[in-house]
Amino acid sequence: QRHILHELEQLREQPAKTADGYAVRLSANIEWAEELRLLRKHGASGVGLFRSEYLFLNRAEPPSEDSQADVYGSVARELAPEPVVIRTLDVGGDRILPSEQTSNELNPFLGWRAIRFCLDRPDIFRPQLRAILRASRHGNVRIMYPMVCCTKELKAANRMLEKCKDELRDEGVEFDENIPVGVMIEIPSAALCAELFAPHVDFFSLGTNDLIQYTLAVDRVNDHVSHLYEPTHLAILKLLQYVVEAGHKNDIWVSICGEMAGDPVLAPLLIGLGIDELSVTPILAPMIKDVIRKLKYSDARELAQKCMQYRSPVTVRRRCRELTREIAGEVLELLD
Amino acid sequence: QRHILHELEQLREQPAKTADGYAVRLSANIEWAEELRLLRKHGASGVGLFRSEYLFLNRAEPPSEDSQADVYGSVARELAPEPVVIRTLDVGGDRILPSEQTSNELNPFLGWRAIRFCLDRPDIFRPQLRAILRASRHGNVRIMYPMVCCTKELKAANRMLEKCKDELRDEGVEFDENIPVGVMIEIPSAALCAELFAPHVDFFSLGTNDLIQYTLAVDRVNDHVSHLYEPTHLAILKLLQYVVEAGHKNDIWVSICGEMAGDPVLAPLLIGLGIDELSVTPILAPMIKDVIRKLKYSDARELAQKCMQYRSPVTVRRRCRELTREIAGEVLELLD
Ligand SMILES: [Mg+2]
Ligand SMILES: [Mg+2]
């Protein structure tokens, strides 16, 4: 095992490119600026998901615009020219801001979360948008909205962003005028209507954990039903395929930042479906990179086409596992 | 208004057929056997959804197999030869059996509900299936499973049903050997993979209330987010269209028993999408029948085709409203 780990660490400086030369972007999900050193250690390129809510959760009041701008700016500077995708505040659900009343929602996962909360609370959303914009001059910063279910929300968020840009211009504060904006695709309606979002964004990022939960109506931390949580359900594969098609038809980059992306068994399937970027927990990056480098893109395409034909999620997973075992059995050894 | 109501009541004996001769099935949703008289009064044909959970909710212990067989049998007898679709127990979510512990689920709508609960609790499910089978010899009885998200569940429910049939045969108890079995399509994965369900059932019934909630990740009784609950979101229309296509390709009857079916503004759109049956609250049946009888099926088809092209749910609703106003303005007067 130590031998395998050592081998994987040697990949740090190698590109995430398949054996037949197809480039995949392999980035990292982080929660704290302090995790940036893990990116270098494990050889991930840039941050595909910076979960900004952790700046908010362990303090009595929301952080000021200035202190947010400092954190985002330092991350941007350290990573430049690699990108950092900052997700706007994703609270609600199982993460309640200390400054808010507990919500007493019957079903918080179907409730006042993320962009829904932020659009209703410009006192919290505006300072964050301004802080991200201010940080953008220090590097390659991108903004991403979570939990968008309709274009009305997406347009409202973009209007708020434009207003913040206007303010900063008036104040003479520099920022990246072309800061890319993306939307998380993690609600079934967003996946089903991705083409309606395309004119309003520069990239899609599939949040598969939530997408699977909603598509199957399964809370995966509920022991009574977690056995129904199936990343390889045909419904999920259809949604992923649809989002990639809608994205690429509109020149939109498609990333995945859910746990699926960091599963060495599923990565070939995702690449075969046309996903452009896998954003994973830093520690998983070496394994995923190893799989990518030993994979042929043509085999990944074939695998994806086959998997779209299977009726059972178990068959899909088995076929995926066979391919990973064949090309990178040592990774499965590490995991088992 | 009294005049309009009087006119509508005159439709009682008239068929639910469009002006150009296309027959729609107009049935009723009921919770109690006592509501059967409302069917006759309001001119609905048969019961498209009998919500069996009300037999269970206002008593300390689940009703016995015998007492269930009595209720289902009397409903079947009274309606024969019209069908009654009995939905198996749909508890969990916001309806907890008095005999069960409160569930303490963080998100009950994504939890241990309906078929998920029943498959884990044969002590409750088996007596109900046996009672429905026993009732089936008295009329035109159909079984329907709620909240199915994958074929594994559907097959398990059917296996349990076959076991109950075997038992009854051994006991020499008569039942309808060809009792039709249906599945509710109310979880996005079920809609997206309806073709996988088709080999295992005789009909689909779209539970649009839940389908909309899950597809948009919106709890519609949560005041913070209920404004996002949009029956005319393009994602919903796509799912409805997909289910109808998958159904009809496999000779499967497609019904809707959600609130959408009883909305005079939306009924023409649903008919235009190819829905075979609208199952509504009895009191709404006269209005829906009036709209159907004044509607041209060709106009409904055209409306549906147009609505699939609109980007905004508001535009869809407006177009639907225009058609209903044009053909049956008096119904909108009643509602406004
Ligand atoms: Mg999420
Ligand atoms: Mg339901």
CA distances from A79 to A44, B102, B187, B266 (A): 11, 49, 41, 52
Q: If DSSP codes are grouped into helix, strand and coil, which group holds residue A156? A: helix
Q: Sort residue B219 into left (φ over 0), alpha (ψ -120 to 50) or beta.
A: beta
A2-6, A180-184, A203-207: lowest mean pLDDT where? A2-6
Of A147, A221, A230, which has the smallest distance from its Cβ to B150's Cβ? Answer: A230
| CB distance B308 to B237 below 8 Å | yes
Size of interface A-B (CB pairs under 8 A): 155
| CB distance A148 to A188 below 8 Å | no
Query: Chain B contacts of A239, Cβ < 8 Å?
Result: 192
pLDDT of residue A66 exceeding 90? yes
| CB distance B12 to B5 below 8 Å | no
Tell me the β-bridge partners of B181: B143
Query: Chain A contacts of B187, Cβ < 8 Å?
Result: 215-217
Which tokens is A90 given?
Answer: 């994703």
Distance, CA of B193 to CA of B190 (rounded, Å): 5
- Side-chain-side CA neighbours of B287 within 13 Å: the count stands at 23
Of all residues in chain A, the percent with pLDDT exceeding 90 is 90
If you ran DSSP here, which 8-state letter would residue B264 be given?
A: T
pLDDT of residue B33 exceeding 80? yes
Q: What is the pLDDT of residues A185-213, one digit of tens each?
A: 999 999 999 999 999 999 999 999 999 99
Please give the average per-residue pLDDT across B10-32, as a whole number.
96
| CB distance B257 to B291 below 8 Å | no
Query: Chain B contacts of A105, Cβ < 8 Å?
Result: 219, 222, 224
Please give the average per-residue pLDDT across B84-100, as a whole number.
89
Phi, psi (deg, nearest 5) at residue A51 = -85, 95
Cβ contact (<8 Å) for B218 and A110? yes
Which H/E stretch holds residue A37? helix A36-42
Distance, CA of B257 to CA of B259 (rounded, Å): 7
| CB distance B303 to A188 below 8 Å | no
Query: Chain A contacts of B310, Cβ < 8 Å?
Result: none
One-letter amino acid identity for A6? H
Q: What is the pLDDT of residues B205-258, one digit of tens each?
A: 999 999 999 999 999 999 999 999 999 999 999 999 999 999 999 999 999 999
Please give the average per-residue pLDDT across B189-196, as a whole number.
98
Query: Chain B contacts of A147, Cβ < 8 Å?
Result: 217
Distance, CA of A147 to CA of A211 (rounded, Å): 10
Query: Chain B contacts of A150, Cβ < 8 Å?
Result: 216, 228, 230, 233, 313
Phi, psi (deg, nearest 5) at residue B251 = 55, 40
Which tokens is A269 given?
Answer: 């399937």
Distance, CA of A267 to CA of A288 (rounded, Å): 7
Cβ contact (<8 Å) for B150 and A215? no
Cβ contact (<8 Å) for A221 and B311? no
If you ran DSSP here, which 8-state letter would residue A32 be given?
A: S
Place of tokens 């050894």: A333
Distance, CA of A241 to CA of A262 (rounded, Å): 18
If you ran DSSP here, which 8-state letter would residue B136 be given?
A: G
Which tops the pLDDT comparison, A335 or B317? B317
Q: If DSSP codes are grouped into helix, strand and coil, which group holds residue A151? A: helix
pLDDT confidence of B19, banded at 50, 70, 90?
very high
Question: Best of B212, B214, B245 to disrupt the A interface by mutation (most A CBs within 10 Å)?
Answer: B214
Predicted pLDDT of residue A92: 87
pLDDT of residue A56 exceeding 80? yes
> Percentages helix, strand, coil for chain B, rounded to the nearest 5?
55, 15, 30
Q: Name the nearest CA neighbour of B196 among B249, B120, B125, B119.
A: B249
Distance, CA of A191 to CA of A150 (rounded, Å): 10
Distance, CA of B330 to CA of B320 (rounded, Å): 15
Q: Name the nearest CA neighbour of B72 among B96, B36, B98.
A: B36
Of all residues in chain A, the percent with pLDDT exceeding 70 is 99
Tell me the β-bridge partners of B29: B49
Which tokens is A67 given?
Answer: 């202190």
Taking each helix axis from N to C end, the angle separating B313-335 and B285-294, rounded to the nearest 10 degrees, works out to 110
Q: What is the pLDDT of residues B101-148, one digit of tens each?
A: 766 899 999 999 999 999 999 999 999 999 999 999 999 999 999 999
Please name the residue of chain B whose CA is at the shortest distance from the CA of residue A311. B196
| CB distance B225 to A108 below 8 Å | no
Mean pLDDT of chain B: 96
If you measure from the C-alpha of residue B159 to the centroid of ligand 2, how many angstroms do you get, rounded to a whole number? 22
Q: How far is CA B37 from the centre of its chain?
A: 19
pLDDT confidence of B314, banded at 50, 70, 90?
very high
Query: Chain B contacts of A225, Cβ < 8 Å?
Result: 110-112, 116
Which tops the pLDDT comparison, B151 or A98? B151
Q: Name the nearest CA neighbour of A188 among B234, B274, B298, B183.
A: B234
C-alpha distance from A37 to closest chain B C-alpha (Å): 35
- Side-chain-side CA neighbours of B55 within 13 Å: the count stands at 25
Which tops the pLDDT comparison, B230 or B5? B230
Please name the residue of chain A whose CA is at the shortest distance from the CA of residue B234. A193
CA distances from A65 to A96, A121, A164, A312, B238 (A): 20, 15, 12, 49, 41
Question: Best of A90, A107, A112 to disrupt the B interface by mutation (most B CBs within 10 Å)?
Answer: A107
Of all residues in chain B, the percent with pLDDT exceeding 70 is 99
Q: Name the nearest CA neighbour of B334 among B295, B286, B298.
A: B286
Tell me the β-bridge partners of A49: A29
Place of tokens 């020499």: B172
Q: Name the nearest CA neighbour of B91 among B122, B73, B113.
A: B113
If you measure from the C-alpha of residue B131 to the centroid of ligand 1, how many angstroms do you get, rounded to a whole number? 43
pLDDT of residue A6 exceeding 90? no
pLDDT confidence of A161, banded at 50, 70, 90?
very high
E runs forming strands in chain B: 25-30, 47-51, 83-87, 140-145, 181-185, 203-206, 253-256, 277-280
Return all residues near B11 (Cβ < 8 A) that are at least 6 apart.
B43, B286, B289, B290, B293
Predicted pLDDT of residue A182: 98
Question: What is the DSSP pairing of strand A140-145 with strand A83-87?
Answer: parallel
Distance, CA of A333 to CA of A325 (rounded, Å): 9
If you measure from the C-alpha of residue B134 to the centroid of ligand 1, how many angstroms do you get, rounded to a whole number? 47
Cα A201-A43-A336 angle, rounded to 5 deg:
100
Phi, psi (deg, nearest 5) at residue B114 = 50, -125
Which tokens is B196 given?
Answer: 């996988």
Which tokens is A41 given?
Answer: 């250690």
Please give the average per-residue pLDDT across B148-177, as a whole number.
98
Of B106, B218, B233, which has the smallest distance from its Cβ to A219's Cβ? Answer: B106
If you measure from the C-alpha of residue A31 to the centroid of ligand 1, how many angstroms do you get, rounded to a whole number? 14
If you measure from the C-alpha of residue A99 to the centroid of ligand 1, how many angstroms do you get, rounded to a whole number? 21
One-letter amino acid identity for B310? Y
CA distances from A245 to A22, A287, B51 (A): 18, 27, 41
C-alpha distance from B8 to closest chain A C-alpha (Å): 37
The counts of H helices and E strands in chain A are 15, 8
If you measure from the C-alpha of residue A213 to the centroid of ligand 1, how many angstroms do you get, rounded to a whole number? 10
| CB distance B331 to B287 below 8 Å | yes
Distance, CA of A265 to CA of A267 (rounded, Å): 6
Q: Which residues of A touch B (CB under 8 A)?
A: 94, 105-112, 116, 120, 147, 149-151, 153, 187-189, 192-193, 196, 210, 213-219, 221-222, 224-225, 228, 230, 233-236, 238-239, 311-313
C-alpha distance from B187 to closest chain A C-alpha (Å): 6
Cis ω for the linkage preceding A81 (within 30 of 0): yes
C-alpha distance from A17 to closest chain B C-alpha (Å): 33
If you ran DSSP here, which 8-state letter would residue B239 be given?
A: H
Please give the average per-residue pLDDT across B295-300, as a whole number.
98
Ligand nearest to the CA of A114: 1
Question: Best of B197, B222, B312 to disrupt the A interface by mutation (most A CBs within 10 Å)?
Answer: B222
Predicted pLDDT of residue B9: 86
If you ran DSSP here, which 8-state letter would residue A57 be given?
A: H
Tell me the β-bridge partners of B6: none
C-alpha distance from A236 to closest chain B C-alpha (Å): 8
- Helix (H), strand (E), coil (C) string for A177-205: CCCCEEEEECCHHHHHCHHHHHHHCCEEE
If you measure from the C-alpha of residue B196 to the centroid of ligand 1, how many angstroms do you get, rounded to a whole number? 28
Q: Name the nearest CA neighbour of B191 among A318, A24, A238, A181.
A: A238
CA distances from B114 to A102, B120, B165, B245, B255 (A): 29, 10, 21, 26, 19
Q: What is the pLDDT of residues A278-304, one digit of tens each?
A: 999 999 999 999 999 999 999 999 999
Cβ-based neighbour number of residue A80 at 10 Å: 14
